[in-house]
Structure 1
Amino acid sequence: MKTLDLFSLGTQSDVAASAPLAERMRPRTIAEYVGQSHLLAEGSLLRRSIEEDKLFSMIFWGPPGSGKTTLARILANETKSHFTSFSAVLSGVKEIRAVIEDARELWESKKKKTILFVDEIHRFNKAQQDAFLPHVESGLITLIGATTENPSF
């Protein structure tokens, strides 16, 4: 029988096995993702951009639990990109600079793209926007924002 020490780090399989059911059942590929067929159907713009590894920045809008974060993770997985998650509410310019530096190092050392997922992007302030903009425009990062607020207003 295997005993676990409270203070030792478990193996990856131990951690995965103890993850909440929702996390263990989360879709990991486009084939497992249910819904949004108008976005992910064969021949659709998003599907072609994934297949051609030419993903673009985008904003996902929907209620909590509708799959915005999951879809962003799937896009990173399908394009073999590094996925970084960021909260517009909890993180500031200092954290943005660290994310940008990590993305730059990954690109220069491994030619690996970075997808930056920004949760609650509608809460971004001007300083945060200004820190990101040149790096999104240059293509260093692909920005995927998620919001529960209608971006049309």
Structure 2
Amino acid sequence: MTDNPTVNRWLEDKDMDHIDHALGRPIYPLRATYRNHFAIDATSTRAAGFDASPHWTKRGQRDDMAFYSVSDAGRQALADHLSKIEDPWRAFLVSFDGYSSIVPERNRNKAKYSYYLMVSDGWSELTFSDFCKRATVRNAA
């Protein structure tokens, strides 16, 4: 995993949802993301809106498709929006038996359980109780 994990969310504000989607739905929109692109019909109303918005930068066009990336202003707008709506997703560092992983979740308990599910896939005799006794969870920086 990266130091900027992604989450499975959607946002009611469709403009912010498109920015979030283009960036791969990261927990930290101001950090580097694994993607930053959005392809759209070049003649669409949405493409005209992207052209007029400071949140998007047009990267090119091929045939009838236009390609955009999110600008720094768009990243900041998304970060401000997530803060305003008090987005519950956080990054947690879960450690177990000397191994650690960043786990995106809404609270510590869910992060611990998510990591347990990952570990128990390859260690079927591990009980959740034993896992909890040996695992630690803290906020990831």
User: When the two structures are superposed, what TM-score results if normalisation uses the length of structure 2?
Assistant: 0.21
Greater Rg by CA: 2
Indicate the structure whose relative CO is greater, using CA pairs within 8 Å and at least 6 residues apart: 1
TM-score scaled by length of structure 1: 0.20
Structure number with the higher strand fraction is 2
